Structures are given as structure tokens and as C-alpha cells.
Structure 1
């Protein structure tokens, strides 16, 4: 039970820290500038619209990462598998978030589609690898 809680907590914390750090260092500024250049700034929420929805997003991603990536990788003791499956999960989740905007919203910039998809390239694999590495080390001690 303790290990299960630690898995979820580790993925959630790493994912959250990486995501928030990225957004403050690069993501929010980049997105806002692109949105303004495209003239679509008014369709986006500038403040946090609903913290509950954000927490649900993190909970869903955490659960998917633990069940689909971390647990199988720890069982196989395979950090490379965690990286590759985390990458696939991240690109799929974030591509599913970004691509519909690109094909359905008028003047939606391709740069935003790419940037959001690239977030999936970073966030899920990092959370997957860090947690898998930590759990494998924990088992070996």
C-alpha cells in the first residue's frame, strides 16, 4: 500500500513540478505571444479558470503514467521502456489536446499545436523515468 501511494505521489509531484516550471520559464510567455500574433488571444482563459479541472488533468495523467508506464517498467526493471512508453503516452495525450484546436479553430497557429505536443514529449517521459528509476533503486536496497 505504501509503495502504491509513493508511486502515485512521485509521478504527480514530478509531473507537476516539471509542467509548472516549464510554463513559468517558457510555455506561458510563448503561448501568449503566439496567441496575440494570431489574433486569437480572446478565446483563451488568461487566469486559471478552474483549478479543479487542472487537478483532474494531473490526476488522469498520473494514473495513466503509473498504470501504463511505471508499473510495467519497474516490473521489467527497464528505464528505457519507461522513457519510450512515457514518450508515447505524452505525445498521444498532448497531441490529442492540441491537434483538434489546430484543425477546428480559425487562425489557430501551428506553432501552438507543435508547442503543446512538445510538452507531451517532455512531461510524461520525465515523470516516468524519474519515478521508475527511484522505484527500481528502492527495490534494490
Structure 2
């Protein structure tokens, strides 16, 4: 699959669209999902343009998974989550809706069902409050 530079995550990386950012470095950016499946749902994306994990360079994959792990630990602490779900989809048949490689980091609570993927937007103010918790947890590590 060829990479389309007009996808929403590419536009976020270029600063054309806003996001509620929780972390960034030279290789990745992490931000709150605007239609979360659970409270604290984060997205981690590589800065490298790749439609899926299968298209991502080995270096970018290594850098990104390290950040996924860092954000998973922070989300677990920030939301006192007994579990963390990490989801990565490749292709529309797998449920991918934005064709820029990305990882979902979803704090999970016992017996709390997930909301449907990409269906219920959350106000930016609420996302910012949740992001503050993640940033505080990151600062403690």
C-alpha cells in the first residue's frame, strides 16, 4: 500500500491539525485518541511516513516500540489500570482506518467494556485533563 501524505496523522505531524500531545521525541509522537475506546486511550505514531507496520523501517519500528512501552507504563500508572491493551492494525481488513502506522495504548479496567472503535468523540478539555495525568506519570519515570 502506498503512503498517502494527506492522512490525518501526517497532517498532525506537520502541525496542520491539532492534537492533545503527551510525548514526542525525534522519532515519535504520542497523543490522546479523540474517539477513545476507554479513558486514557493513547496513540503512538512514528514520524516516518509508513502506511502500516509492514512498511515501516526497522529503525523506526524499534524506536516506536520503545515509546509504546514507555507510554504503556505511564498510562498504567496514570489510570491505575490493572491491564494495558496495545493494538496495532494493518490494512482495512484488520480494522485500520488511518493509513499511517500507529499503535493504540488502551488502559483497561476489570469488567469495563471498550467503546466501539472511532465512534464517540470526547471534548478536548477532557482529553487535556487525561493527558495531564499521563504527562505527570511520565515525569516520574
- The structure with higher relative contact order (CA 8 Å, sep 6+) is 1
Please confirm whether the aligned pair reaches a TM-score higher than 0.5, indicating the same fold.
no
- Specify the structure having the higher radius of gyration (Cα): 1
